[in-house]
Chain A
Amino acid sequence: MNAHATVAPTVESAGAATPRGRRDIVRVVLLVTLVLCLVGLPLVADPFATTTATRVLAFALLAVSLDLLVGVTGLPSLGHAAYFGVGAYTAGWLSIHIGIDGPVALLAATLAGASVAAATGWLAVRSGGIFFLMLTLAIGEVLHQVAHSWRSVTGGSDGMYGVPATTVGGVDLANPGFLYWYVLGAFGVGYLLIRMVVRSSFGAALRGIHDNEPRMRALGYPVFGYKLAAFVIAGAGAGLAGGLLVAQQRIVTPDDLGFTTGALVLLAVVIGGAGTLWGACIGAAVVVLVRDYFGPALDGHGPLLLGIVFVIVVYVMPRGVAGVAGIRGKERAA
């Protein structure tokens, strides 16, 4: 048994040396192709498709920020849409009443998402598991109710409408293609920042908390502070995503921060495979496409189709799209 144990790793590393180099090249080529496709999309797609893609990007950033909580830290939240909505209302309100520039509105939305997450997170992250799920659900419902009742600011159930077109340096982004590139750029910044956090030593500590919280305490990590920090960073990402949402749809309704949105993001993360950020993006694309693109053709039965997709995903690929890709990758390496 011992001999087997010592021999196995050396064989593996010697065999993997060349394929690993080739896999890196494949990865770079794939990445460049993906970026080119994303950037070139408005040049070939019709305006409706471009608009849908813009919504996918906003929703994908929301899913990525939630994945930091669910997949990395192990905190499944049902109320993450609350911070998305806070960001959307903040950016919308500032655009209507003060008429600030797009990027400044996005920054404000990010800060608003982070602040509200900090104010509510110190309560939520004290619990774990099902209690965390219920607490975040409750927090989300409270904020949903606030959005309904605080008519003077949010417009109540009519929503906050009449948000002017996003301007960057005084130039209107009324053209769906320009708006798409603007949202794509902001999405890229948000995605890369969250990816940086996940890959840092702080991200490793969050995975440690996911794996074994008591041991992290025994190693001297202040677990509560780390979970709160993760919650605030996720809230900031959700706030930015909300700012992107309002830039596209130019109206915010209480539904945008309600339970349905919160559940759909969680669904996106699970479909994509919790713990991999790009998986969350694919999950978000599936959810938005089924709901907004195929849904209308199905006579309003989009949610039904989503339900079927979800059941299939849970049975066929329990670790999501990313899980399937991961298995393929390992098979190729072996």
Chain B
Amino acid sequence: MTAVLSCRNLSRRFGAVHAVDDVDLDVEPGARHALIGPNGAGKSTLLHLLSGVLSPSSGAVALEGRDISRLSVSRRSRLGLSQTFQHSLLFLSMTARENVALAVARRHGVRPWPRRRVHSAVADRAGQALGTVGLADRSEVPAGSLAHGERRQLDIAVTLACEPRLLLLDEPAAGMSPAEVERLGALIELIPPEVTVLFVEHDLELVFRLATTVTVLHLGAELITGTPDEVRASDAVQEAYLGTEGQHTDLFLRPEPAVDPASR
């Protein structure tokens, strides 16, 4: 089974800081692959390297065996790699339906003249996508008037409407109330199994609820990749999070892990 997404020797430096340092990663088809690590571990930078927002200092990224290291964000998106953003990025002056319609419309071909049939097909598909994430009755509300949790739902609807093969989620639960996190978890579980998901998340309860594979990053480098149980049992992970060797508290039961001062 070839990986949907793989990267080799991927590095990104900001001046003297090695934000991402020689990372190899394989995301298997259908996986729910979580990227975790203390603050400053390079999770978001790695995600941006994969999506093309940042370009790597060295190393390569491949999507289904094809080298995409030099492709723009929009080219990668057309190849089936979609992303949501840490600060959810929406079209705030448009309604929820128009937000999703923009994602749907590109797949139907964009023309500078009116096409009624295509237009209504796009609107229907957008309505469906909103229904899937539970925003059916909010479709005509401007995105700027939606609550924070609803914006996250809309963000996922927009991203799913691109019909991606690989979905990158950057801290989907950031700033959510426990009830909203609960709904988000259910929402991510609804994502069709043929769509592979790679996500960065701080909420470890959510990570261990969803993930089939977990990669722990520490100081820009990959510490361990394994099943959730393997990661939970690892001494190295304990150390990275707590900075103490051999001290076996089950840190993954805490919502917020302590941060290693050495990792900034």
Choose among B72, B85, B105, B158 the residue with the greatest number of A CB atoms under 10 Å from its CB.
Answer: B105
CB–CB A214/B162 < 8 A:
no
A207 to chain B, nearest CB (A): 7
B90 touches A202 (CB 8 A): no
Given contacts A5-B137, A215-B89, contact A205 B110 (CB under 8 A): yes
Q: Which of B80-108 contact A (CB under 8 A)?
A: 82-83, 85, 89-94, 98, 101-103, 105-106, 108
Indicate if the CB atoms of B101 and A202 lie closer than 8 Å: no
Asked if residues B119 and A201 are in contact (CB atoms below 8 Å), the reply is yes
Cα A262 to Cα B127 with chains together (Å)? 43
Contact B51 A218 (CB under 8 A): yes
Give the chain B neighbours of A6 by CB distance below 8 A. Answer: 137
Is A151 interfacial (CB 8 A cutoff)? no
The reply to whether the CB of B25 lies closer than 8 angstroms to some CB of chain A is no
Q: Does A208 contact B (CB under 8 A)?
A: yes
Contact flags A222-261 to B (C-beta < 8 A → 1, else 0)? 1100000100010000000000000000000000000000
Asked if A220 is an interface residue, CB under 8 A from chain B, the answer is yes
Interface size on B, residues (CB 8 A): 40
In the complex, whether A219 has a CB less than 8 A from a CB of chain B is: yes
Question: Which label, helix, strand, loop or mixed, suits the secondary structure of the A interface?
Answer: helix
A191 to B102, CA, bound (A): 25
B122-145 CB mask vs A (1 if < 8 Å, else 0) is 100000000000000110110000
Partner of B105, one of A199, A205, A215, A218: A205
Q: Is the CB of B113 within 8 A of A200?
A: yes
A218 to chain B, nearest CB (A): 6
Residues of A in contact with B, size category: 20 to 34
Partner of B101, one of A204, A221, A223: A204
Known: A9-B137, A202-B112. A219 touches B106 (CB 8 A): yes
Question: Is B115 interfacial (CB-CB < 8 Å)?
Answer: yes
Tell me whether A126 is interfacial, beta carbon within 8 Å.
no
The reply on A20 being an interface residue by CB < 8 A is no
The docked-state distance in angstroms from the alpha carbon of A218 to that of B82 is 7
- Beta-carbon contact of B110 and A201 below 8 Å: yes
For A221, the chain B residues whose CB sits under 8 A away are: 74, 106, 110
Does A197 touch B at the CB level, under 8 Å? yes
Chain A contacts of B75 at CB under 8 A? 220
Within the complex, what minimum Cβ distance (angstroms) separates B139 from chain A?
A: 9
Q: What's the nearest-Cβ distance from chain A to residue B182, in Å?
A: 15
A214 and B89 within 8 A (CB): yes
Residues of B within 8 A of A200 (CB): 110-115
Q: Which of B83, B118, B137, B140 contacts A218 (CB 8 A)?
A: B83
User: Is B74 a contact of A223 with CB atoms below 8 Å?
Assistant: yes
B73 at the interface (CB under 8 A from A): yes
Tell me the B37-82 residues at the A interface (CB within 8 Å). Answer: 51, 53, 72-75, 77-78, 82
Is A203 located at the chain interface by the 8 A CB criterion? yes
Q: Do residues B98 and A220 form an inter-chain contact, with CB atoms below 8 A? A: no
A208 touches B112 (CB 8 A): no
Residue of B with least CB distance to A220: B77
At the interface, yes or no: A217 with Cβ under 8 Å from chain B?
yes
A133 lies within 8 A of chain B by Cβ: no
Using A9-B137, A207-B94, A215-B91 as known contacts, say yes or no to A196 and B114 having CB atoms under 8 A apart.
Answer: yes
List, in ascending order, chain A residues with CB within 8 A of B138's CB. Answer: 5, 9
CB distance from A323 to the nearest CB of B (A): 13
Closest Cβ neighbor of B53 among chain A residues: A214
Q: Give the complex CA separation of A215 and B91 in angstroms.
A: 8
Residues of B that sit less than 8 Å from A by CB: 51, 53, 72-75, 77-78, 82-83, 85, 89-94, 98, 101-103, 105-106, 108-115, 118-119, 122, 137-138, 140-141, 158, 162
Q: List the 9 closest pairs (A to B, CB-CB), nearest first.
A: A220-B77, A202-B112, A211-B91, A220-B78, A217-B73, A215-B89, A217-B74, A197-B112, A201-B105
23 A-B residue pairings within 8 Å (CB atoms): A9-B137, A9-B138, A9-B140, A9-B141, A196-B114, A201-B122, A202-B110, A203-B112, A204-B102, A205-B102, A207-B93, A212-B90, A214-B53, A214-B85, A214-B89, A215-B90, A216-B102, A218-B51, A218-B82, A219-B77, A219-B103, A220-B75, A233-B112
